[in-house]
Structure 1
Amino acid sequence: MEGIIALLIPFGAFAVAGFAIWTGHQRKMIKMRGEFPTAHGADAERMREELKYLKDRVAVLEQITTDGHSSKQLKNEIEQLRDR
């Protein structure tokens, strides 16, 4: 029994050290990929609003490019959108 405990103590130390190295690596990988934990509360609401705003902007830009206006009309529409 004492022999088993003597073997488990160093194994436990190596296991803890390995786990610490692994979790540090996982954090670095998450930062590199730009994946962050799900936001809650005010941050989540702000991100939803910003996403909706950007989707609306893309929809307007798609409409402008597919309407077939002349270049002068297109220039005027872009200026109107910038003034918003």
Structure 2
Amino acid sequence: MFTTWTRAKHGYPVENEWSGQAVKGDPAAERKIELLVNENDRLTGQIGRLEERIAVLERIATDPGQRVSREIEALRGPAN
């Protein structure tokens, strides 16, 4: 019993002593884990997008004004 408690405490899968297979968890707990994994994936993607936006803002804030003006004019295209 101590071995099972120690394994559970440290996050290792609890195994059935007779078959050596992990014991199936509670369906509600498995659903919660699935939701947490999905949320983690979503938040990881959001962090990546925010890091890209911050990099652009840092570049704009640290670049000289003339360079930013030239880039804006270049994006507008040739004057008609």
Q: Same fold (TM over 0.5)?
A: no
Shorter-chain TM-score category? 0.3 to 0.5
Tell me the TM-score normalized by structure 2: 0.41
TM-score w.r.t. length of structure 1: 0.39
Task: Identify the structure with the greater helix proportion.
Answer: 1
